[in-house]
Chains A and B, each alone.
Chain A
């Protein structure tokens, strides 16, 4: 038999790996990194991440990367570079946008030094990322750090999703049938088929995207609704959220990874943190196509599904829910008025003693035989059978 025939070639063509967009969200909350400073400083973590990003880019030449910093008071692009209107106005040439598009063709406004010994995309990415990270750190004021101990994860996620949606839509190889087309009138009003069939690999031909969150902050409860909105959007677009937790309370990110089908790992000890690069390379490098054939870490573990209450931002496992606005409260409301929507609420079945079937009937039967004095109105003269 001739080995070279049409069927073999058809199979070979299907093996072409789809391009993959990896969006990394680095939590750069200065408070949290200060605590980790003796075991894993931010510079070391970023160095490991750069190696990881290069590995991702090297796997497939069509692979793309985007990096966003979720800083203490703002979310910023690290790669590709965001152009601030402020910077532009100082530069007259850019204000008209004339040179801007040329700049974007050459990889953004930040240009790496020419180095013949380095693969150009690596050099470009590394230089841009470090430049933007330094710039962001330099522009962070002490006031900003003092005023907000949290991190802008919701903003970073929303920007990442907007970028992913645009990239997915603009990729020419993506066929319209495989991706969620939210602007198509024939698509469903509130949803699409992707959500209804989780087993179907959605982006089989187009760009397959994923998000990796490197998180160090614990307290995320103040942006609960926004983060949840992002998680559902990810689920809808079938974008898995991978989470690498270096410190802090895991509750919401673990739910995010579980809901979207991503990988969750927590490096809580200093020895585990020392092997950050190894964790990244072994657990997070494979794309969605490869994951179908592998056993992802963290699958056989329970997930903490508790919710944050709206009144004190406490994490609770039994809560009280307003039937009108669905806000969660950790304790019954003192005056019965919902704190969010102001409607008057009655407590149903709370604090009430369980109803016990009264034993009256038994008494009634015995009454004629004893003295019927205690209930004169109940017809003492009526003869009872038996």
Chain B
């Protein structure tokens, strides 16, 4: 961190120890760092120390509870189905200035950024298969084009790999980058989002004109800017992000370490929530019903030319309308201009739109009422239900009462209930179903649900 010294003077002398404990915490950057009460990594570290002092008896139970609570905490998010910008147009702007030669992120900021960006590109298209991405660079005061807007991850990755051999040089210019991004996003259709993601390693921006005019132009063009800083917070970056995101300050963050950097980059792959101002703008511009083709794959005896690249390929996909052969999907048919995609591409985004409802913690009373003894998903036995007398007396020697004192968010009976189907699950299935499958095993396994059926049939 280049300019952390000024802050460091104000803090206590024992900060060194705490700093090493901090892992993956992120500093939510307000526009003035002095005003924030406590950074998140400070909070994590202090609570860790307290835990070790407090744990005098059975440390295992408390730690287990904390672990479950931590898992739940990550899991419990707002499951209101929000309108998200599924069709995205994103421009990634990489800093290629001499500040990227710094070695505070291993091996260097430059190489780490390229590696992470390659991962980002793959994950971006995994999560947003019908979106477009373009990559720019900032170098020697200019914005340079690394790859054009396209929906093919391989184009971007090839361009990024070539970037490895080049040396970062000169100063970055945020204004030039934003202007070029604005021009590149100008023609994109109104039903998609327009996003610019800037990775900035330098602590300066050498601009040819007034950047505030550019910010105003970005707001006018509905462009949303996110910036990930690699060194320290800059006022102008905070201002750009706040103004282009309707006053929201969460879009500018500084990466603490490598893990945090990757986490922040990967967070961008989730489609952004649309704000009501955007919806009004969309009403103005009309959401569209798009005609798309779902071609089937064919395999041919002899290689033939594909219509998109003119390469000899054996097999590919035939356009549903004009039967031209394209070699890769998603693509736009070069002959009839029909958007060709796999239905699996569309289906990949559904869980963003129809999220699985959160499961609730189960009290011992409820567990006894249901009499559940194993997880409905994975058949793992639950801890046994204590007898009613024991629970009423509340004796401390009971196994169950030790579990009752568990951390906030963890269920006392280690059971989690889906409110739609009323089945009980273990913490692992809870996490797994919400993060990976996005289905409830109970709701899907029973055609006649006791509760309301709408929650899942809508999906």
Contact = CB atoms under 8 A, between A and B. Distances in A.
A76 to B, nearest CB: 8
Contacts of B456: 226
Main secondary structure of the interface of A (DSSP, over half): mixed
A342 B87 CA distance: 18
Interface string A249-262: 00000010011000
Contacts of B338: 318
A362 B377 CA distance: 74
B374 A83 contact: yes
B381 to A, nearest CB: 6
A348 B289 contact: yes
B407 interface: no
A152 to B, nearest CB: 6
B296 A306 contact: yes
B403 interface: no
A80 B379 CA distance: 8
Contact of A189 (B270, B299, B373): B270
Interface stretch (B54-62, B259-267, B302-310): B259-267
Contacts of A95: 371, 385
Interface residues of B, number: 92
A74 interface: yes
B289 A303 contact: no
Contacts, number: 285
B344 A259 contact: yes
A255 B344 contact: yes
A122 interface: no
Interface size bracket, A side: 35 or more
Interface in A65-95: 72-77, 80, 82-83, 85, 88-89, 94-95
By CB atoms of chain B within 10 A, which of A76, A232, A349 has the most? A232
Given A152-B447, A191-B269, A195-B126, A166 B378 contact: yes
Interface stretch (B141-149, B218-226, B242-250, B438-446): B438-446
A97 B290 contact: no
Contacts of A88: 371, 373
Interface stretch (A45-53, A285-293, A320-328): A320-328
B351 interface: yes
By CB atoms of chain B within 10 A, which of A191, A323, A344, A350 has the most? A323
A101 B381 contact: yes
Contact of B447 (A74, A156, A225, A338): A74
A309 to B, nearest CB: 10
A230 B437 contact: yes
Interface in A208-242: 223-226, 228-233, 236-237
A336 B378 contact: no
Given A158-B440, A158-B441, A159-B445, 6 more contacts: A88-B371, A97-B383, A100-B373, A161-B436, A258-B297, A345-B289
